Amino acid sequence: MLAIDAAAYTSPWRRVHPAAKGVFFGGLLVCALALPTWPAAPMVAVVALAAGFGPARVPPRAFARAAWVPLLFILTGSLALLVTVGGPQGAVALDPAGAARAAEVTGRAAAAVCCQLLFAFTTPLADLLPRLTRIGLPSALVEVIALIYRMLFVTLDSARRIQTAQAGRLGYAGRRAWIRSVGSLGAALFVRSFDRAQRMQRGLECRGYTGELTVLVEELPLRPSALAAAALPAVLVAAATASYFSLGAPL
């Protein structure tokens, strides 16, 4: 099981309705994207991390392992905003306004990533997917996502088994052996995944599949007061941002 899924299934917020968590983290995400970056993005990140590491008890080490790749991608991507290409000779030069734009993009994207990851760390996908059809998402799309999600763990387990067998035969002893083993691993995974998908399709057809997989969804209480409380942090962030600029801070 992936670290995110393990944390989501053991989270104290597992018993909280996904709609309430969606309003909480989704509202903060909207604030990070729609409001001025400063001071909205830092406030969104602080509120989301405080809730995640506090009441939700998200493991900081697991969160750091999951977040460093997208955050590094954001940082390296923002470096392109520091330069400009143009001029009479098409030269590359530093953009005077590039640092401000890079900081703005980095702040917004980092706050948004925190909100998305913390939602994933507190909400198992198995609890979320069956409820997506209730908000109008096509059931066929939801089922495809669910099948891919379930097949992912089987594929990862197959990859580990194949890699262990290759390593036991010195398949990664040298550079050429490593390249050959990785190629064989990819080919074997493709063949096994394709065969497994065909067998799954035949199994569904033999069981009278009619285009919809009916699953038992655990009912969780959802009160209007819980939705209002979940939306309160986003409202406070928006109000604090508005107050900041009403006091004369530049946009």
Predicted pLDDT of residue 143:
82
Euclidean distance between CA atoms 118 and 57, whole angstroms = 10
Predicted pLDDT of residue 89:
60
What is the pLDDT tens value at each position of the chain, 251 positions in all? 678 888 898 999 988 999 999 999 999 999 999 999 989 999 999 999 999 999 999 999 999 999 999 999 999 999 888 888 766 666 777 778 888 999 999 999 999 999 999 999 999 988 888 888 878 888 888 888 888 888 888 888 899 999 999 999 888 888 899 999 999 999 999 999 888 888 888 887 887 777 677 777 777 888 889 999 999 999 999 999 998 888 766 65
Predicted pLDDT of residue 202:
87
Predicted pLDDT of residue 229:
93
Euclidean distance between CA atoms 30 and 182, whole angstroms = 41
Predicted pLDDT of residue 164:
92
Is pTM beyond 0.85? Reply is no
User: What CA–CA distances, in Å, run from 10 to 14, 58, 216, 219, 247?
Assistant: 7, 9, 20, 18, 44
